[in-house]
Structure 1
Amino acid sequence: MRRDVSDGEFSLPVRVYIEDTDAGGIVYYVNYLKFMERARTEYLRELGSGWDTLLPGGLMFVVRDAALTWYAPARLDDLLSVTAAPHRASGATVALTQLVRRGAELLVAGEITIACVDGGTLRPRRIPRDMLATLRGVIAGE
């Protein structure tokens, strides 16, 4: 796992297992969303904002919007790189570009927006000030 997130992009290696594929050994389309979820979760953890910091405050992130484009399939036993890079952070949402690659080949590109919500009511809540400042700093290249 790549730990340096100073350039704004985080990369998570993901191996394709048989449980990720269809009968033809090709990754089932919805599993790319799972791979992207893992990368976002690890990215936030690297920034110091993992679930251990959100849940005690009653907060959680949920996917608000997802737009994916598939270019080529991943197959059983491929080693993929799944990236997460924020490009916009507002009061309650973060928009990220997420890519899935096999080596240099782009397989899937996604634009994912996550929203910070109250864990009990699921109503929007402001992203904690320090987390928002960190995300905005990454976006600005600081």
Structure 2
Amino acid sequence: MKIRVYYEDTDAAGIVYYANYLKYCERARSEVFFEAGETPQSASGYFVVKELEAKYLSPASLGDILTIETELLEKRSASIVLLQRVKKEASLLFEMKIKLAYLHQGRPVKIPEKIYRLVSAWESGE
């Protein structure tokens, strides 16, 4: 997924504010659902962040075109682990490893097969 950095994404120096990298990754994860005519939450459940490890490697700036890549590292019955990278051309700017738990009414439940099929797109690192 590609994202352009807008003025609203930056601090006074024109550098992307650190929390926006998390938003960019969230948008990339959500887009897989939207492209399939689905939403990231449904009557059967929703994902929540259980763990997150982030590395800020190089800053992005106003006007940059960023690519967000997502790779599925692990699938369990009620959780997935992803590696997400934000790049500017070939330069790696940010990466995070994120564990998402699938819940229904606040309790962990098995991820439905339909959701597994959607997130399987990330097995190839899209």
TM-score by structure 2 length?
0.87
Tell me if structure 2 keeps the 8 A contact 1:49–1:131: no
Q: CA deviation at 1:58?
A: 3.6
How many residue pairs get aligned? The number is 125
Corresponding residue for residue 25 of structure 2: 36
Q: State how far apart, in whole Å, the 1-side matches of 2:37 and 2:84 are.
A: 18
Compared CA separation, residues 107 and 113, structure 1 to 2 (3 A): same
Q: State how far apart, in whole Å, the 1-side matches of 2:115 and 2:97 are.
A: 20
Q: How does 1:1-142 map to 2 (within 5 A)?
A: 12-46=1-35, 48=36, 50-51=38-39, 54-55=41-42, 57-118=43-104, 121-132=105-116, 135=119, 139=123
Report the RMSD for the aligned CA atoms in angstroms.
2.3
Tell me if structure 2 keeps the 8 A contact 1:84–1:96: yes
What is the letter of the counterpart of residue 38 of structure 2? G
> What SS does the aligned partner of 2:107 have?
coil
Which 4+ stretches in 1 moved above 3 angstroms? 133-141
Unaligned runs of 5+ in 1: 1-11
Compared CA separation, residues 17 and 117, structure 1 to 2 (3 A): same
TM-score by structure 1 length?
0.78
Unaligned runs of 5+ in 2: none
